[in-house]
Amino acid sequence: MDDLYPTRGDYALEIERADPIVQEAIRGNPGAELPAKLERYAKDGFLFLPELFPAAETESLLAEAERLRAESLASPTAEIIREGGDGDVRSIFAIHRTSKTYAEITRDPRLLDLVTTILGDDVYVHQSRINYKPAFCGREFFWHSDFETWHAEDGMPRMRAVSVSISLTPSYATNGPLMLIPGSQDTFVSCVGETPEDHYKKSLVKQVYGTPDIECITKMAIRRGIKSPTGGAGSVVLFDCNTMHGSNGNITPFPRTNLFIVYNAVSNQLVKPFAANKPRPEFIAAREHIEILPKRKS
């Protein structure tokens, strides 16, 4: 398979995106106008939906996150990522496979209708996780494009994936909210350096390889700005797999917890990694256990 997005070489490249951002726009009537929501998504690379999930639902999702976190405190399983390797819980992966509550939310038509329209295909869950940023000690996530890692280390061929971040607690400007660079989805930024063996064991705690050149981020941020959607619990951000994003640490008394679901087009299933010796584990990137999610019947 041709590699349209080479990365992890000796120097950084900026490559014009070869894949449409909203796939549905090219099916049947390429010149048709997009609905306003999808127009914003295509332009910015993300879409913010304030308090899409009502309080009662969000409280149930948060309670499940706290239950899983409590159970994980003494668990040594690989799906549980800790700060510094043995500290507080940073992330729990593959939660749609271990939690009925989260399995159901991946099938929710409020998410699936938008995602399948954007991707123009049936979808499956490529990855799911809960990210925890506890009060006073939640750590940062450095700037990155998810697709760069999914392409290099998982073998995702094309930019045919959408990430969904559901805020289970309020996101304030001060407690380490998601930050995105609008329009950055138009350009693939390759990263420098050969992928280390079993890189995921360190990168899920603190990523070094697979992060873009600081000069490139600076140039993007100056040209395009930085947006940080904030709002109440139940708010949702959908963002393109190539949108550059990150978040600061949390030193406030207000914890931030979010549920993260990645939907990949069925036609874009994983192949051999493009810049790693072997694929990452199944709990990080689904390649064997593929369940096509049912769309709502019209």
Is the predicted pLDDT of residue 294 greater than 60, yes or no?
A: yes
Residue 111 pLDDT greater than 50, yes or no: yes
298: pLDDT confidence band, cut at 50, 70 and 90? very low
What tokens were used for 75? 């668990």
Distance in angstroms (rounded) separating the CA atoms of residues 17 and 111:
25
The mean per-residue pLDDT over the stretch 117-146 comes to: 94
In the numeric block, the tokens 């917890």 are attached to: 257
The per-residue pLDDT for range 54-91, each reduced to its tens digit, is 999 999 999 999 999 999 887 888 999 988 756 789 99
Tens digit of each residue's pLDDT (9 = 90 or more) over 153-174: 999 999 999 999 999 999 999 9
Categorise residue 251: left if φ over 0, alpha if ψ from -120 to 50, beta otherwise. alpha
Q: Mean pLDDT across the stretch 273-287?
A: 96
Domains of the chain with bracketed CATH: 19-24+38-268 (2.60.120.620)
> How many residues are listed for the chain in this entry?
298
What single-letter amino acid sits at 221?
A: A
Facing residues of 236 across strands?
Answer: 49, 166
This prediction's pTM: 0.94
HEC string of 208-248? CCCCCCHHHHHHHHHHHCCECCCECCCCEEEEECCCCEEEC
